[in-house]
Structure 1
């Protein structure tokens, strides 16, 4: 299936979609591609907010930070640092699940987290647009809360499938 088709299917049935993805042999390059695609979309989602921040700083008395500097820092954060953070979080979540009786693999935990990052990334576009056009406020807080809840709900379902579901039956860590 195409990634976009899987993303739509994952909104309806996240566990079944991840189960299908885990059915094949472990493909670390695919997991990394999913993570990098999600981080790229989240990086792009930051642009409206960064443009707003750069413009407001020009009008204020604060030190000016050109838009290119803000985008460069965000690029470094989302495409170089956050993938490493996500790898660490996936490993820690696998170890916690293993301590709780999980039967999955570290690859399954990584795929669950990386897939969630990609599936939730379109919501991050909405959040970025809200922060860019409306700014901080109740609307941005509401959209941010929706994105956060959706992320943890989807990740929880996927991680449960990877560690405790039928796809983890014969797996070894």
Structure 2
């Protein structure tokens, strides 16, 4: 789930990077390579750390679930919100910075947090 979501997020960066390369007269391939490395090698490690932190906070608040359940809640929420990430990348690539991009980014944040909080409530009920 996590690698699928990270791959889709990497794909969402293509229009943005293409626009940036065209406007700045830069080469596109190194930019794509950096995004690939970041989203497929670094981001998964950060998501595992975020899942551990989320589980620790839930434990402090009385959660009884497992770390694996908290991890799945985070990964699923990220994957479930990827359509909005793809829309965000398309908006950034075609329209650029502005209110439309801010609105789509806000919609993604709300959707992601909604899915994650709902997933954590279920995950931390315990089994």
Query: Under TM normalisation by the shorter chain, which class is it?
Result: over 0.9
Aligned to 2:3: 36
Aligned to 2:120: 159
1:102 to 47, 63, 67: 63
2:31 to 70, 82, 102: 70
Aligned to 1:121: 82
Unaligned runs of 5+ in 1: 1-33, 59-64
Question: What secondary structure is seen at the aligned counterpart in 1 of 2:35?
Answer: helix
Aligned to 1:132: 93
- In 2, the alpha carbon distance for the partners of 1:72 and 1:146 equals 28
- TM-score using structure 2 length: 0.97
Larger Rg, first or second structure (1 or 2): 1
1:92 to 23, 39, 53: 53
- In 1, the alpha carbon distance for the partners of 2:113 and 2:88 equals 16
- In 2, the alpha carbon distance for the partners of 1:101 and 1:46 equals 38
Question: What secondary structure is seen at the aligned counterpart in 2 of 1:71?
Answer: helix
Question: What secondary structure is seen at the aligned counterpart in 1 of 2:81?
Answer: helix
Deviation at 1:99, TM superposition (A): 1.1
Unaligned runs of 5+ in 2: none
Aligned to 2:107: 146
Matched, 1:52 2:19: yes
Q: Give the number of aligned pairs.
A: 127
Matched, 1:112 2:79: no
